[in-house]
Amino acid sequence: MLRRIWALVQKESIQLLRMPIVYVGLTLGPVLELILFAAAIHTDIKHIPMVVADQSLNAASQSYLIGFTNSDSFDIVARVADQAGVVHAIDSGHAEIGIVIPVDFASQVAQKDATVLMVVDGSNSFVTQSAFSSAQAISQEYAISLTHLQLSALNPHMQILYNPDLKDVWFLIPGMCAFLLFGIALKLTAFSIVREREAGTIEALLVTPIRPLELMIAKMIPNLGIAFLDLAFTFFIGSVMFGVPFRGSLLVFSVLALLFAIGSLGLGLAISSVSQTQVQANQLASLVNIAVMFVSGFLFPAYSLPFVLRLLGYVMPMTFFMTITNGIMIKGVGLSDLWAASLSLTGLTVVIFFIGARLFRQNLD
């Protein structure tokens, strides 16, 4: 049996290696993407374009505005005449937020009853929330400075664990590693069988004494190799270029990653078994990829998902693997803390593998 598997593995590997797209697309590709995204994506909101309609134009309004000009949360891109001008600027997309200071601002302040209007671009809710809070905070700070009251202050001290400098890349890389591993493993195997089926070469295999399980394993091994190569690449880039730490146990991670990869490959095989053409396999794989990306907590926080999607997330190995990757790489914790996630990952992998194997066997004829 092993000999047959080995022969098959050799054939698969040769076929795989003869496609240059495999080399370039699947190894260099993800790496390039990783570098690009890590550099591009940032979570802090700074330099939000702001317009100001200062209808007072006196010392009072100007000193009010100092807080904003000095803040790097905002960039004042234009001065307009009035509220209409502010709305126009936001309409056109030139600004996301605008401040309107009334004509009689100075006298209002003297009476301790001044109001400043902040107009916010509600269509960009991701940015707006924090833009408004920041603006409000700056305004409040200035207001507080005007009073000479003895204020009771609550002083928060922050302790940020694991990533005290809040480096964006440290947020991204673990998730990207997990996501890349999943996506690649899925794609590679989803196509492998369907390609053979479409080309008709699967018939030649079926007349040999190959057992379905052997075929499955043989298809998975070279793909596993490539997926891990990619993983190694991403780690390398992550740590060398971006300084992302790896604080936990490499051994534990490798074992769990292997498990995860096998589950993903199994899922890919399941997909390929139920697809008749490469195009269908492709579409199904995309579907799964996308769904997972969103419900696993990679792009958006898992705990703010509505119930149904949360359930979906719990059925995906990716969700748990993300927790594990994050935990081992950034938090530096071990199995003792990750046992729940690891157990779930193992359980799901086994289930998926069996379902995949079943489907594969059934659809071989």
Partner 1 sequence: MELNFRRLGILIRKETIQLLRDRRFITLFLGLAFVQLFIYGYSASKTVYHMPLAVVDQSRDEKSKAFVQALVNSQYFDTAVYLDSQAEVVRAIDRGQVKAGVVIPPNFAANAEKGSADFLIVLDGSDQFAVGSAYSAVNLVAQNFGLQLTAANLALSGANTAPSAANPLLPITASAQVLYNPDLNDKWFVIPGIIGMILQTLAIEQAAILLVRDRELGTLEQILVSPVRQLELILSKLIPLLVLCLLTLVVSVGFGIFWFGVPFQGSLFLYFWLSLLFITSCLGLGLLISTGVKTQYEANASSMFFMLFGLLLSGLFYPRIGMPLIPQLIGDLVPLTYFLRISRGIYTKGIGLNFLWSDALILVIYMLIVVVVASKRFKMRLD
Binding to partner 1 (CB under 8 A): which residues in 127-146?
Answer: 127-130, 132-137, 139-140, 142-144, 146
Shortest distance, position 279 Cβ to partner 1, whole Å: 5
Q: Which of 28, 41, 66, 311 touches partner 1 by CB under 8 A?
A: 41
Cα–Cα separations (whole angstroms), residue 191 to 61, 198, 265, 268: 65, 10, 11, 8
Phi, psi of 52 (to 5 degrees): -125, 130
| Nearest residue (CB) to partner 1, 174 versus 356 | 174
- The region of 24-32, 227-235, 249-257, 262-270 touching partner 1 under the rule CB under 8 A is 24-32
State which H helix or E strand residue 257 sits in: helix 250-274
Hey, is 16 helix, strand or coil? Answer: helix
Shortest distance, position 335 Cβ to partner 1, whole Å: 12
Shortest distance, position 194 Cβ to partner 1, whole Å: 9
Contact set for partner 1, span 273-312 (CB under 8 A): 275-280, 282-284, 286-287, 290-291, 294-295, 299-301, 303-306, 308-309
Residue 301 CA to chain centroid, in angstroms? 10
Nearest to 257 by CA among 230, 282, 238, 285: 230
* Distance of alpha carbon 125 from alpha carbon 293, whole angstroms: 21
Nearest to 345 by CA among 316, 310, 308: 316
| Nearest residue (CB) to partner 1, 7 versus 280 | 280
Shortest distance, position 1 Cβ to partner 1, whole Å: 30
* Distance of alpha carbon 291 from alpha carbon 294, whole angstroms: 5
Shortest distance, position 213 Cβ to partner 1, whole Å: 25
Contact set for partner 1, span 109-128 (CB under 8 A): 109, 112-128
At 364, list the tokens: 């071989």
- Is residue 331 close enough to count as binding partner 1 by CB under 8 A? yes
